[in-house]
Structure 1
Amino acid sequence: MTFHQLKNKPIIKIITNRYVIILSIFVVWMVFFDENSLLNHLEFNKEIDKLQSEKEHFKTEIEKDKELIKKLQDKEQLEKFAREEYYMKKENEEIYIIEYDTLKK
């Protein structure tokens, strides 16, 4: 086939159209090279998903802490918490911490 015969084919006419070429270059630029490219958007969406899951995690932690704060309004519960978590004691009192060996020999 000669160049003239190739040039008259409809697909070649479409591909060599200057508007199609310019549009193709524009699309490639927007997908890969631009600051707001499709690749950047995908990364940002992953980051958004990660942050939303962290947000949900921290919301549940806040709810747990609110319940603990309500519970610790009671003096007996506060004392129990201080003893268990921070090994605090009253005056003239001794505390013995017993730890069990969980490793099998």
Structure 2
Amino acid sequence: MKRLIDLFKNKFFLVTVAFAVWMIFFDKNDLLSQYQYHQEVNKLKEERDFFKDESEKVAKDLDELNSDPEKLEKFAREKYLMHKDNEDVFVVVKEKK
């Protein structure tokens, strides 16, 4: 018990404890902020991976469209409802329940 009382009377120990409490709870970069930054970094990494995959898919599709005229025509007809002069286009829309 005497050692514990002596420890709390030691000014270096008190300054160290006060510094640790300040850094953990009150500083701009406290533990809660660090946790939130870590979560945000993980979220941004997931988004980066998603958009990287999507970019690769789009680049692949673009390469296919530039190299194959039949796929280009199919894409234009499906996505932009383009048609030839002597054709009619009918759009079938499914009803939502």
Q: TM-score, normalised by structure 1?
A: 0.82
Given candidates 4, 12, 19, the residue that maps to 1:19 is 12
The alignment of Structure 1 onto Structure 2 pairs a total of residues equal to 96
Question: CA separation of 1:102/1:41 partners in 2, compared to 1, >3 Å: closer, same or farther?
Answer: closer
- 2:71 equivalent in structure 1: 77
**Sequence identity of aligned pairs in percent?**
39
- Runs (5+) with no aligned partner, structure 1: 1-7
Letter in 1 for 2:24: V
**Take 1:86 and 1:63, find their aligned partners in 2: how far apart are those partners?**
22
Give the structure with higher Rg (CA).
1
Question: Residue 102 of structure 1: CA displacement?
Answer: 5.8
Q: TM-score, normalised by structure 2?
A: 0.88
Is the aligned partner of 1:92 residue 2:86? yes
